[in-house]
Structure 1
């Protein structure tokens, strides 16, 4: 499993789906928003939690089609499916590789982007914690969507349409946790909901993704 994870990390970097793409997109979003809504610090501070979370979500969305597409194109996916490794474990490793190359860099860089959005100092820790809890769910849900659309030519748009509705609960509670933290309010409820969503999808969706892949590979 570790060898598979390292292989996927190398492939993600070589294919241009590494941390640089997500960070660049996140930076573009954070930079353009003040031009669109104006430079008023109070307004930026109010909308910063939602904008930062939306930027992170869209940045994760950029590289979803690469999770399984490369293995499908070169035939590696068929070999992995017939290997002694459980398909559920293979799907989990691919989701983990996506999170390491996309979600984790966004978590680390989020305080810097929060400065650009004039987020109050009290909101930095809740923002980072919310992204740390929520981005794994984005990667696992995205892997499920990639399994549904694997083998479909130009399936990137279909993949986005499939996973975006599933991303909504994570976006709602992640942005709410960051907003409450910035206002100095209690963040326990959205934090628990966000952690529950991530735990639920990590526990269940790898089995659904593996089942879908078995159907697509027949």
Structure 2
């Protein structure tokens, strides 16, 4: 499993669509927002948690089609399906590799980008906490979407359309947790909901992804 994780991380770095592209997209979204809504710091500070969460979510979408597409193209997915390693473990490792190369860099960069949006000082800690709790769910859900569309030509758009509705609960509670933390409100409820969503996706979706992959490989 460690060898597979290392291989997937190297592929993410070399094949494009990894953390560099995601960070660049995240930065562009953050920079463009003040041009669209105006430079007023009071307004920017109010919308900063939601904008940062939306930017991180969209940045994750950029690399989802790479999770399984490269293995499908070179035949590695067939070898993994016949290996002693369970398919559930394979998709879990791929989701972990995606989070390490995409979700984790976005989480670490978010406070820096928050400066551009006048994020309140109290909001930085909660922004990072919300992204740490929520971005693993984005990677696991994205892996499920990648399993559904693997092998389809130009399946990237279809993948985005399938995954975006599933991202909505994570976006709602993640942004709400960051917003409440920024203004000093109670954060227990959105934090528990966000953690519950992430725990549920990690527990259930690898089995669904493995089932879909077995059907697609027949």
Deviations 1:158-189 (A, max 9, x none): 00000000000000000000000111111110
* 1:150 corresponds to: 150
Number of aligned positions between the proteins: 218
* 1:191 corresponds to: 191
* 1:71 corresponds to: 71
* 1:161 corresponds to: 161
Distance 1:190 1:43 in 2: 23
* 2:23 corresponds to: 23
Given the two structures, how large is their TM-score scaled by the length of structure 1? 0.99
Q: How does 1:42-191 map to 2 (within 5 A)?
A: 42-191=42-191
Distance 1:114 1:187 in 2: 19
Distance 1:196 1:213 in 2: 26
* 2:204 corresponds to: 204
* 1:40 corresponds to: 40
Structure 1 unaligned regions, length at least 5: none
SS of 2:17's equivalent in the other structure is: coil
Please, what is the CA RMSD of the aligned residues? 0.4
SS of 1:204's equivalent in the other structure is: helix
Structure 1 runs of 4+ aligned residues shifted over 2 Å read none
Q: CA deviation at 1:193?
A: 0.3
